[in-house]
Amino acid sequence: MRAVVQRVTKSSVTVDGKVTGEIGKGLMVLIGVKKGDTRDDGDYIARKIAALRIFDDEDGVMNRNIKDAGGDVLAVSQFTLLGDARKGNRPSWFEAAAPEEANELYQYVISRLREDGLRVEEGVFQAEMKVDITNDGPVTILLDSRKDF
């Protein structure tokens, strides 16, 4: 499972002209599910998202996690994180999980974040979405449950 985590001052996702998720300060998280991923992968990603110390403390040092900073999470499923463009110019989606499997694990990650006390807004699985991201820093962290990078 892969996630792109961005520290934001605000972020929103819109489907068919309607905002389906919106946050102020917090984390915008794009989540891609790989074939063979399990709940263990989801647990790893959720734990890392909740624990990442990428918010400034009173000394301006990145020492606070999302809870400490009082922020929220906007989660969006994005199978293209599993795209492989090493051969040619058209990415292969071979490593991306089937939609049913991907949605189940995407929803699992969201439920784990909520169980951890975080407010989580979300996109619409398999929808054409417009995502507005105001990256703060910019701070962008790449996570992979299999530690492929």
Catalytic residue among 9, 14, 79, 125: 79
- Residue 43 belongs to what H/E stretch? helix 39-51
Cα Rg for the chain, rounded, in angstroms? 15
- 149 a catalytic residue: no
- 140 a catalytic residue: no
Phi and psi torsions of 134, nearest 5°: -110, 90
The DSSP annotation for 70-88 comes to T-EEEEEE-GGGG-B-SSS
Catalytic residue among 6, 14, 55, 78: 78
- 80 a catalytic residue: yes
Where do runs of H (alpha helix) occur along 85-130?
99-115
Question: What are the residues whose beta carbons fall under 8 Å from the beta carbon of 27, sequence distance 6 or more?
Answer: 5, 6, 7, 8, 49, 52, 66, 71, 72, 73, 74
Catalytic residue among 80, 94, 107, 125: 80
Alpha-carbon dihedral 84, 48, 104, 76, rounded to 10 degrees = -70
* Residues known to be catalytic: 78-80
